[in-house]
Structure 1
Amino acid sequence: MSSHTVSPAQIASPKWVIPRLSLMMFLEFFVWGAWYVTLGIVMGKYGLSALIGDAYSTGPIASILSPFLLGMLVDRFFASQKVLGILHLVGAALLWWMPGLFESGQSGLLWVIFAYMLCYMPTIALSNNVAFHSLANSEKGFPVVRAFGTIGWIVAGLIVGATGLSDSTAIFTLAAIASLVLGIYSFTLPHTPAQDRGKPLSMRDLLCADAFALLKQRHFMVFIICATLISIPLAAYYAYAAPFISAVGFENVSGVMSLGQMSELLFMLLIPFFFRRLGIKLMLLIGMLAWFLRYAMFALGITEETRWMVYIGIILHGVCYDFFFVIGFIYTDKVAGNKVKGQAQSLLVLFTYGLGMLIGSQISGAVFNRSVTAEGAQALAQWQSFWWMPAIAALAIAALFFFTFNYREEPKRD
């Protein structure tokens, strides 16, 4: 999305801008968190475990397609808040439809999930776009607004867990209602016009050619390669952490998983403290090593005596996500020039949430279908073998990054 200047309307009404945007962000991630975390458990309950990897591949594919299908069009033709509203209204209808598909069988289920993700994934960028356009000081205001997104995910998980809906198709109904509310509410958000209206579509911009040119810098190319690779074992967590936690014996799966988002919120607030002391390379490395430690905790936490390790693995989510992905976005912003900041961020999303997660979903799905085939105590041993594979992969990628990434940060001027 394009960068925006501050409008008179933004300056005139700062009092209510942050609360309005915070509610938008809260609902944006409440919708996603309500169903995404425990989708694998619901699919297992209905005998669709073999399709979990495919279901979690729909999001990465949508992440690859959405910048090309929507990003340039929104910048040139449509107001962001209106497109945000329309997509959430269509998404609400698709979510409302899903429980019936589970009840009647798997016919068309994956296609409906894919259609929904095509609607939802662009809304993440659209909500960011509305927020950045509406805030007079985005550096101070956006972290507050974005934090409410994490809070929305946490609240959704706590509601699903407390009401015992973790393995129920009612999670889609809950998400549909929230999506309907957000769809209607979006039309009341501050007007965010198409900033490039009237400009012709450029194939060079559409293909992010200027952002790809950044790969000529060795350190950025190494980062993109390692970011893509680390996203492959990462996909195993999103798709199979909830089924694993359920298999280990936890009942309130969604509530337990929400501890990860609480950790994410805490470490997001601590990023400025660590950033000044550790720098980009060390923080990225710690984030990658945290993925290894998380999976090792899962592998070692299958017995009642070591069950506490599962909690450690979940709580590590804050380090895993914030130290790698949030710092990765900051690093990318530093490397990119003013003209390609948006393209560079889209490129990073394309390779991580898109290509890396897609490959990871397919690989983890194939490994799961071959290795986790039993039930009870025997299944726990199989789960242990399953988690050691992404753990070893994350450790190897971290080693590759440590020895090949060489980026010197420019000293700050007082």
Structure 2
Amino acid sequence: MSIKIRLTIMSFLQFFVWGAWLITIANYWFGTKNWDGTEFGAIFATMGIASLFMPTLVGIIADRWVNAERLYILLHLLYAICLIYLAKVDNPNSFFTLMLLAMCCYMPTLALSNSIAYSSLTQGNYDLIKAFPPIRVWGTVGFIAAMWITNLTGNKATEIQFYIAAAGSIFLSLYALLAIPKCPPQHLTKENAKLSEILGLEAFKLFGNYKMALFFIFSMFLGAALQLTNAYGDVFLSEFANFPKYMDSFVVERSTIIMSISQISETLFILAIPFFLKRFGIRNVMLIAMLAWVLRFGLFAYGDPSSGLWMIILSCIVYGMAFDFFNISGSLFVETSTDSKIRSSAQGLFMMMTNGFGAILGSRVSGWLIDKYFTHSYTNASDLASYLDTQADNPKFLEVIAHKKIQINDGVFDQVIQVKEWPHIWLAFAAYTLVIAIAFALLFKHKHEYKSQ
């Protein structure tokens, strides 16, 4: 089996074990467990907390002391164990602790998988810009496959999604043990080496380079945008069930399938990356990604399951460009702009900024912002019915209330009903990414030179 095929299978499984729960966990949290919305932001923040130190730490170890593929196998086994226990947890605090442990195991494997692929392709004398995207695209296919399996088996709001991911991760560990080539450390310590070199901290010197530091800062801000769509995309579509006129729509019933259009779009835009990089250069490709994020959020703001369905679908299509043109191109930018001796730790830094600081910024700030400014509370049936553009005695309105297991006594609910004002939420996110795009266009200067091998 060729190295490209082996790496392709690894990429498929790498994202399968994430896609099985990442987009649907909000339905499990809010729908099945009925836990607090503010605490949910903390769950997505675990990815950021783990990414603050684990990808860089593991990258340093892989660069200096332990084969990257061995670390990769161990971390996926530990990730599977954490998920199995996570499925059995019945309180949010314990859930947070186990999710944090799971993310400490999984998040560094994202950077490691890139490092393993780059190392193997470089040894095979492949052109990275041409060879890597067709391999990485199968990661997106794996993500889609996992989403569909979770949704079509009726498990988008159950703990089974975690078992699906755990089974995939165990299989990936066994596969990597048998099929992934050895990736030994490239950076051995010299005599009379400086302390920073002994500790493997050379990658942090990249922050001393203006262009690289600026790139990492914008990576953080774009990482925040990614967390917004991961955390709230599926639950946004599911909450159209609050509106009687939309409650029976395909968008509500199969929200995860609709969201998977985003990942299907990724497969097309990943394959287009070599063409766009060659024609427009890395700076313009990343700027296009930022403008695509603006469009992504803006279309969500005005979309709905009937007349505005085309906007929801177009938003999902645009997501492929928004995600790939920055994250995949950014990973290639780091690889081609740094020494191969610090390959794993440099990729770890990129992961730290996007999925570390960026994830924390996106999940924590957005959770606070949504709860404080864009969430309405209702105790009166008539007020809620007016907001939902129906009558309090409308049979479908009563069906919505019954589904929430809430009783109405003399027009008053026996508990508070909270409704998020999604159009304004998405417009706020669109404004955020527009500011980032303008700042990037003004500040980031880079002359891209494409060299085909």
State whether TM-score is above 0.5.
Answer: yes
Q: 1:83 aligns with which of 71, 78, 81?
A: 71
Letter aligned with residue 367 of structure 1: L
Unaligned runs of 5+ in 2: 242-251, 379-383, 389-417
Partner of 2:34: 47
Does the CA contact (< 8 Å) of 1:302 and 1:380 recur in 2?
no
Deviation at 1:336, TM superposition (A): 3.3
Between stretches 230-239 and 184-193, larger displacement belongs to: 184-193
- Alignment partner, residue 442 of structure 2: 403
Aligned-partner SS, 1:194: coil
Aligned-partner residue type, residue 57 of structure 2: L
1:244 aligned onto 2:236: yes
Deviations 1:35-93 (Å, cap 9, x if unpaired)? 11111111011112332211001111111211343222233443333332222222222
Q: Which residue of 2 is the match for residue 271 of structure 1?
A: 273
Q: Helix, strand or coil for the counterpart of 1:36? A: coil
- Alpha-carbon separation, structure 1, partners of 2:279 and 2:305: 38
Per-residue CA deviations over 1:265-314 (Å, capped at 9, x if unaligned) read 10111112222322222221111011111111111114632132111111
Residue of structure 1 aligned with 2:293, choices 282, 291, 294: 291
Using the aligned pairs only, state the percent identity.
32
Does the 8 Å contact 1:208/1:347 carry over to 2? no
Match of 1:4?
Answer: none
| Higher helix fraction (1 or 2) | 1
SS in 2 for 1:273: helix
Question: Of 166, 175, 178, which aligns to 1:176?
Answer: 166
Aligned residue number for residue 369 of structure 1 = 371
In 2: Cα distance, 1:208 partner to 1:351 partner: 18
Q: Residues of 2 paired with 1:188 and 1:369: CA distance? A: 48
Instruction: Tell me which amino acid in the other structure corresponds to 1:24.
Output: M
Distance 1:132 1:229, change over 3 A: closer
Give yes or no for the alignment of 1:323 onto 2:331.
no
Given the superposition, is the C-alpha separation of residues 338 and 174 from structure 1 closer, same or farther in structure 2, using an over 3 Å criterion?
A: closer
Equivalent residues of 1:372, 1:386 under 8 A apart: no
TM-aligned CA deviation for residue 330 of structure 1: 3.1
Instruction: Give the 3 Å change call, closer, same or farther, for CA 89–398 of structure 1 in structure 2.
Output: same
Alignment of 1:386 with 2:425, yes or no, is yes
Contact 1:68 1:206 (8 Å CA) reproduced = no
> Unaligned stretches of 5+ in structure 1?
1-14
* Distance verdict in 2 for CA 1:304–1:330, change over 3 Å: same
Alpha-carbon distance, 1:172 to partner: 0.6
Corresponding position: 1:56 with 2:44: yes
The partner residue of 1:149 within 124, 130, 139 is 139
Instruction: Deviation per CA, 1:153-212: give whole Å up to 9, x if none.
Output: 111112122222211211011111111222222221345253258648975258876444
What does 1:59-78 align with in structure 2 at a 5 Å threshold?
59-78=47-66
Query: 124, 147, 165: which is aligned to 2:155?
Result: 165
Structure 2 residue 51 is matched with structure 1 residue 36: no
Equivalents in 2 of 1:395, 1:216: separation in Å? 27
Structure 2 vs 1, CA of residues 177 and 394 (structure 1 numbering), >3 Å: closer, same or farther? same
Q: Secondary structure at the match of 1:187?
A: helix
Provide the rounded CA distance (Å) in 2 between the counterparts of 1:169 and 1:241: 20
Closer, same or farther in 2 for the Cα pair 1:16/1:271, shift >3 Å?
A: closer
Instruction: Tell me if the contact between 2:11 and 2:135 (Cα under 8 Å) persists in the aligned partners.
Output: yes
Q: Distance in 2 between matches of 1:31 and 1:296?
A: 30
1:7 is matched with none
Looking at structure 1, the residues matched to 170 and 54 of structure 2 have their Cα atoms a distance apart, in angstroms, of 21
- C-alpha separation in 2, matches of 1:411 and 1:43: 46
Q: What is the TM-score normalised by the length of structure 1?
A: 0.86
In structure 1, what residue type is equivalent to 2:425? F
Larger Rg: 2
TM-score when normalising by structure 2: 0.79
Q: Distance in 1 between matches of 2:309 and 2:183?
A: 51
Give the deviation of 1:411 after TM superposition: 7.7
- Could you say if the C-alpha distance between residues 285 and 193 of structure 1 is closer, same or farther in structure 2, counting changes exceeding 3 Å? closer
1:204 aligns with 2:213: no
- Distance verdict in 2 for CA 1:380–1:264, change over 3 Å: farther
| Post-superposition offset of 1:34 | 0.4
Q: Could you tell me whether the CA contact under 8 Å between 1:26 and 1:152 is conserved in 2?
A: yes
One-letter amino acid matched to 1:372: T
Letter in 1 for 2:162: F
Counterpart contact for 2:62–2:344, Cα < 8 Å: no
2:222 aligned with 1:230, yes or no? yes
CA distance in 2, matches of 1:304, 1:374: 26
In structure 2, the residue corresponding to 1:364 is in which secondary structure?
helix
Is 1:194 the counterpart of 2:189? The answer is no
Counterpart AA for 1:106: P
Distance 1:19 1:374, change over 3 A: farther
In structure 2, the CA distance between the partners of 1:380 and 1:402, relative to structure 1 (3 Å rule), is farther
What residue identity is the alignment partner of 1:276?
K
Q: How far apart in 2 are the matches of 1:347 and 1:206?
A: 18
1:297 and 1:111 mapped to 2: Cα distance? 35
Q: Does the CA-based 8 Å contact 1:287-1:323 persist in structure 2?
A: yes
Pick closer, same or farther for the CA change 1:100–1:290 going to 2, 3 Å. same
Which of 350, 353, 373 is the equivalent residue of 2:352?
Answer: 350
Structure 1 runs (4+) deviating above 6 angstroms are 411-414
